[in-house]
Amino acid sequence: MQISIQPDPDNACQHAAQLIVQAIKKHLATDQRPFVLGLPTGGSPLGVYEQLVRLYKAGEISFKNVVTFNMDEYLGLKPTHPQSYHHYMHENFFNRVDIPADNINLFKGDTETPDEDCQAYEAKMLSYGGVDLFLGGMGENGHIAFNESGTGFGSRTRVVDLAEATRQVNARFFQNSDEVPKQALSIGTATLLAAKRIILIVTGFKKASAMKSTIEGGLNHLCPASALQLHADATIVCDKAAVAELEPLTVALFNRG
């Protein structure tokens, strides 16, 4: 695992976007051999999507031969709901680049067969040979996607119960906390670790405690992000505020610029 410490959130998002673009270009993607990209939602990735859109508009990258799989979705929300991740992804990324609609894979929040859909979602990822790169964010308790504290490292795509702390954090996007769904569809920790490469974007002092647990606390199911220690090619791109609680020796050891 590597840590790339940038001066501020803008630089962190720019660096993460550049790493993604470099990976897509190196893959030499074609229609028959697409680049498979896993994507998150939330506040932290917004800057990365802005940078990817900017690079697309500048002619630096095309997404025509990119296939995407999103990490999660609220269970019970229709795709048209303004707080659905279906809506989030189209507004912030898909509608602004040249990715074909058929290449976009999203959970159906209003499904009547959630368990079957989760199995099919995982199987479809495997049908492409797995995910080439998963971009992710990290919650204040170290969760990735909706893999809450206590999630086993062997978990796969499934229906999950949302922790009350996560619901409260996300309540700011709804009119009131009662509207926040209590369940979600989410990839598992093992699904994430199966990706060939992982890039986590982590910014802000609110994430500093989770970063300390992720990097210095050892493997711990209470901090799902600590599972990245098991991955051969995982990079956390962060700002200085996010590493404020790390020991200076840790920063010196892991930081690769």
The pLDDT, as a whole number, for residue 172 is 79
pLDDT of 164 reads: 83
Contact 131, 38 (CB under 8 A): yes
Distance CA 250, CA 243 (A): 10
Q: Are strands 198-202 and 66-70 parallel, antiparallel or unpaired?
A: unpaired
pLDDT of residue 59: 98
Q: What is the pLDDT of residue 256?
A: 59
Using the predicted structure, report yes or no on whether residue 257 has a pLDDT greater than 80.
Answer: no
Of 122-131, 166-175, 200-209, least confident by mean pLDDT is: 166-175
Averaged pLDDT, 201-229: 96
Q: How far apart are CA 157 and CA 73, in angstroms?
A: 11
Question: Which residues partner with 39 through β-bridges?
Answer: 70
For residue 76, the tally of other CB atoms under 10 A from its CB is: 15
CA distance 26 to 30: 12
Nearest-angstrom CA–CA distance, 101 and 97: 11
- pLDDT grade for 228, boundaries at 50, 70 and 90: very high
Q: What pLDDT is recorded for position 166?
A: 79
pLDDT of residue 123: 97
- H-only helix segments in 110-187: 114-127, 164-170
Average pLDDT, the chain: 94
Taking the C-alpha atoms of residue 67 and residue 88, their distance in angstroms, rounded to an integer, is: 17
pLDDT tens-digit map of 146-189:
999 899 999 999 999 988 877 887 787 788 788 889 999 999 99
Region of poorest pLDDT, from 58-62, 172-176, 191-195? 172-176
Instruction: Please determine, for residue 241, whether its predicted confidence score (pLDDT) is greater than 90.
Output: yes
- Whole-number Å distance between alpha carbons of 9 and 232: 25
* pLDDT per position as a tens digit, 67-106: 999 999 999 999 999 999 999 999 999 999 999 999 999 9
Cβ atoms 180, 167 nearer than 8 A: yes
Residue 71's pLDDT is 98
User: Residue 86: which of 184, 233, 205, 154 has the closest Cα?
Assistant: 184
